[in-house]
A and B are shown apart, each in its own frame.
Chain A
Amino acid sequence: MKYLVFILKRLVSLIPVLLGISFIVFFLIRLIPGDPATTLLGSHATPDAVRELRTQLGLTKPLWSQYLTFLGHLLQGNLGYSYVYDSPVGGLIQTSLPVTIWLLISGTVFTLLIAVPLAVLAAARRNGIADNIIRAVPVVGLGLPAFWLGIMLILVFGLKLGWFPVAGYGDTLPEHLRGMVLPGFTIALTLSPILIRSLRASMIDVLSSDYIVTAHAKGISTSRVVLGHALRNAAVSSVTVLGVNIAYLTGSTLVVERVFSLPGIGQQMINSILGRDFPTVQGITLIFAIMVVVVNLLTDVTHAALDPRVKLA
C-alpha cells in the first residue's frame, strides 16, 4: 500500500515531463525542410493527395491547435498512421515492443551477472591482481562500440562455434531465449563497465564502515558479511547509477537489434528512417522516451525498496 501511494505520486509528478516529451516529438516533424505533407507521402504523391493530407493533418490550422490535436490523439492511444505500411503506428509498435523489452531485460540480467561478481571480487581483494585487472575494464569498455562488439560476438559464438543463432528471434519461447543470449550479452558488455566501476567504489566505501566491523565481530563468515551486509548497502547507491545508464543505453538496443536482426522497435525505427516513414519514427521516438521514464520510475521504486531510509511519503 505504501509503495502504491509512492508510485502514484511519482506518476503524477511525471506529467510535466510527459507533456514535454510529446512537445519535442511533435516539433520533430517541423524540423523537416519543406512541407510535412509532401514528406509524409513521399515525393511521388499527387498534389491532390498532398492537399487532402494537409487538411487531414490540420496543417492549415495554427500550430498550437495542431499540437492540441496531436496530444488529444496521443491520449486516446493514437500514435498516428504509417503511410508506408498503410497501418496505424500503434499496431506496428505493439508487435515489436515486446522484443525490445525482452532485450532490455536480458541485457540488464547479463549486466548484473557480469558486474556484481567482478565488482565484489575487486572490492574484497582490493589492490590485488584481480582488482587491478577489473579496474582496467571500464577504461577499455567505455570506447567499445556496441554494434561492433555484436558483430564480433556473432563471428565467434554464432559463426565459428555455432552456439547461438546469428540473427533473429525465433518463434517459440526457447528460441526467443536462445536468440536473446548474444544480443543481451552485447548490451551487458557495454553497460557493465559503468556498473563495475560504481559498485566497486561503493563496495570499498561500505567495507570500511563501522557496521561491517560489527558484522565481523559477530563471528559470522566473511562471505556472509560481504554478501549479506556490504553488497546490499553498496547496491543502494549503485542501483541509481544502473537505472540512469539503462535509460541512457536504451538507445543502444536500436543498434543491437539492427546487428542481430531482431524485430524490435529499434529495428523498426531504422527501417522507418530508411523508408522515410515519418509517423512511425515519431511514434517510436515517443515510445523510447516513455521507456526511459518507466525505467527511471522502476529505479526509484527499487531504490526505495532497498533503502528503508528513503521516505515513501
Chain B
Amino acid sequence: MTAPLLEVRDLHVDIPLSHGRLHAVRGVSLSVGVAESVGLVGESGSGKSLTLRALLGLLPRPARIVSGTVLIDGEDVTGLPAKQLHRRLTDTMGMVFQDALTALNPVMRVGDQIAEAPLRKLGKSRSEAKAIAIDLMTEVGIPDPERRYRLYPHELSGGMRQRICIAIALSTKPRLILADEPTTALDVTIQAQVLGVLRRLKQEENVGLLLVSHDLAVVSQTCSRLYVMYAGKVVESGTLLDLVTAPKHPYTFSLLRSVPDPDHRVARLLTIHGQPPDLSEAIGGCSFAPRCPFAEEACHQREPVLAPVGSAAGAVIRESACLRVDTAERWTEMVSEETVSQQ
C-alpha cells in the first residue's frame, strides 16, 4: 500500500494562559490519501481548526505545537529546518479560510494576490504569473477574470471572494487543500456553488481536500471519509456512509440526531445537553461522559482510546474511542426508551 499524501501522528497543541495552559489539541492522528476528500467534524472549540492550522505551521498567537509528527508521502518532515519545513508544507498544501473578506488583503488587487506565489515563490515572470492567476480564476468559476483581476476584495461578492481564496490556495500548485469552514459565511446557494468548485477540483485536478466544518451537511456533500473530533481528540473515524448509518461513538450519534434529516424523518431531535469540558484542566475519564446519554460509571473513570471497530472493511479502518462501543446497535432504542420514560 502506498503511503498517504499527508499523515499526522499524535499532534498536541497548547494555548498558554495567564494561569496554566489550555490543552486544545490532545493527540490527534489523521491521514489523507492522494486525491481523497476527508472531513474533520466537531463543534467550535473541539480543536479542529487548530489542528488544521498546525498542519501549515500557522497557529494563531499564542498557540503552539507541543509535539506531533507530520509525514508527507510517508516522509517525516518534522525535523526539517524551519524555512525548509514551511516551504515543504506550503508546497504540498494550500489553505482556504472561513471569512473570505478578512482572509484577503484589502489593499491589494485580488489578481495580484493570486499571482503572488507564482511570482515570488515559483519564480515565474510577471506576465506568466498573471496568466496563471487568470487561468486559476477561470478554473474556480469566476466569469470575466481579466476584468476582475484588477478589482479589490471589497468590490467582490462573498461567493466571488471565497473563489478568489480557493484560487490563492491553488496558486502554489498544492496536492491538498485545507479548508476551514469555507462556506459558513455564505448563504446556501453560494455555499453549494463553492462546494461544487471544491468537488470538481478533486475530480478533475486530483487535488485532495481536508475540510473542517461543524456542519455535517456540508461535509457529507464533499467528503468520503470523516474524522469526528470532541474536546481536542478524534473520537471516531470512518467512511461517510458508515458513520452516518451506524455511528460507533455517542457523540457522533448525538451529532447526527441533532441534524434534521428529511429522508428519515426522526420524530424528535436530540439535543446535546451541557457544555464541552474545560480543556485547561485534566480530564479523568471519557471527555464526553458528562454529556453522554449512555455513560456508565466506568466512562467517568477510565479514558477510552481510539481503537479499530469491527472488521476492517477494505482499506479504510473504522475507529472509535468509546468503552460502550459494543452497545452501539441499541443506542437508537435506548434513546427512544429514555424519551418515552421522561414523558
- The answer to whether A and B interact is yes
Partner of B120, one of A210, A221, A236, A308: A221
Quick one: closest A residue to B120, CB to CB?
Answer: A220
B60 x A208 contact (CB < 8 A)? yes
> Known: A218-B168, A306-B107. Is A209-B90 also a contact (CB below 8 A)?
no
Q: Distance in Å from the Cβ of B172 to the closest Cβ of chain A?
A: 6
Q: Distance in Å from the Cβ of B49 to the closest Cβ of chain A?
A: 11
B117 x A220 contact (CB < 8 A)? yes
**Which residues in B have their C-beta under 8 angstroms from that of A307?**
106-107
A218 x B102 contact (CB < 8 A)? no
The reply on A216 being an interface residue by CB < 8 A is yes
Q: Distance in Å from the Cβ of B169 to the closest Cβ of chain A?
A: 7
Q: Distance in Å from the Cβ of B157 to the closest Cβ of chain A?
A: 16
A229 x B108 contact (CB < 8 A)? yes
Q: Is the interface of A mostly helix, strand, loop or mixed?
A: helix
A213 x B103 contact (CB < 8 A)? yes
A233 to B113, CA, bound (A): 14
Q: Distance in Å from the Cβ of A243 to the closest Cβ of chain B?
A: 18
> Known: A219-B87, A219-B121, A221-B120. Is A214-B61 also a contact (CB below 8 A)?
no
**Which residues in B have their C-beta under 8 angstroms from that of A208?**
60-61
The reply on B56 being an interface residue by CB < 8 A is yes
Residues of B within 8 A of A (CB): 53, 56, 58, 60-61, 86-87, 89-91, 93-95, 97, 99, 102-108, 113, 116-117, 120-121, 152, 154-155, 165, 168-169, 171-172
Quick one: closest B residue to A230, CB to CB?
Answer: B105
The reply on A133 being an interface residue by CB < 8 A is no
**Which residues in B have their C-beta under 8 angstroms from that of A229?**
105, 108
A219 x B117 contact (CB < 8 A)? yes
Among B90, B97, B99, B103, the most chain A Cβ lie within 10 Å of the Cβ of B103
**Which residues in A have their C-beta under 8 angstroms from that of B104?**
211, 214
B95 x A224 contact (CB < 8 A)? no
**What are the nearest 6 A-B pairs in CB distance?**
A219-B90, A210-B102, A218-B117, A217-B95, A308-B152, A211-B105
B87 x A214 contact (CB < 8 A)? no
Q: Distance in Å from the Cβ of A238 to the closest Cβ of chain B?
A: 13
Among B60, B106, B168, B169, the most chain A Cβ lie within 10 Å of the Cβ of B106
**Which residues in B have their C-beta under 8 angstroms from that of A236?**
107
Quick one: closest B residue to A217, CB to CB?
Answer: B95
Q: Distance in Å from the Cβ of B179 to the closest Cβ of chain A?
A: 12
A220 x B102 contact (CB < 8 A)? no
**Which residues in A have their C-beta under 8 angstroms from that of B154?**
308-309
23 A–B pairs (Cβ distance < 8 Å), ordered by A: A210-B102, A210-B103, A211-B102, A211-B105, A211-B106, A214-B95, A214-B104, A214-B165, A215-B105, A216-B90, A217-B56, A217-B58, A218-B94, A218-B172, A220-B117, A220-B121, A228-B116, A232-B105, A233-B107, A308-B152, A308-B154, A308-B155, A309-B106
- Give a binary string over A274-310; 1 marks a CB under 8 Å from any B CB, 0 the rest: 0000000000000000000000000000000011110
A218 x B116 contact (CB < 8 A)? yes
Partner of A308, one of B94, B107, B169: B107
Q: Distance in Å from the Cβ of A205 to the closest Cβ of chain B?
A: 12
> Known: A233-B105, A308-B106. Is A213-B90 also a contact (CB below 8 A)?
no
B91 x A210 contact (CB < 8 A)? no
Among A214, A217, A221, A236, the most chain B Cβ lie within 10 Å of the Cβ of A217
**Which residues in B have their C-beta under 8 angstroms from that of A220?**
116-117, 120-121
**Which residues in B have their C-beta under 8 angstroms from that of A213?**
53, 58, 60, 95, 97, 103
**Which residues in B have their C-beta under 8 angstroms from that of A215?**
105, 116
Q: Distance in Å from the Cβ of A309 to the closest Cβ of chain B?
A: 5
> Known: A308-B154, A309-B152. Is A218-B105 also a contact (CB below 8 A)?
no
**Which residues in A have their C-beta under 8 angstroms from that of B94?**
217-218
A213 to B168, CA, bound (A): 12
- Give a binary string over A230-244; 1 marks a CB under 8 Å from any B CB, 0 the rest: 001100100000000
A224 x B120 contact (CB < 8 A)? yes
A209 to B103, CA, bound (A): 8
Q: Distance in Å from the Cβ of A51 to the closest Cβ of chain B?
A: 64
> Known: A209-B102, A210-B97, A211-B106. Is A217-B152 also a contact (CB below 8 A)?
no
**Which residues in A have their C-beta under 8 angstroms from that of B60?**
208, 213
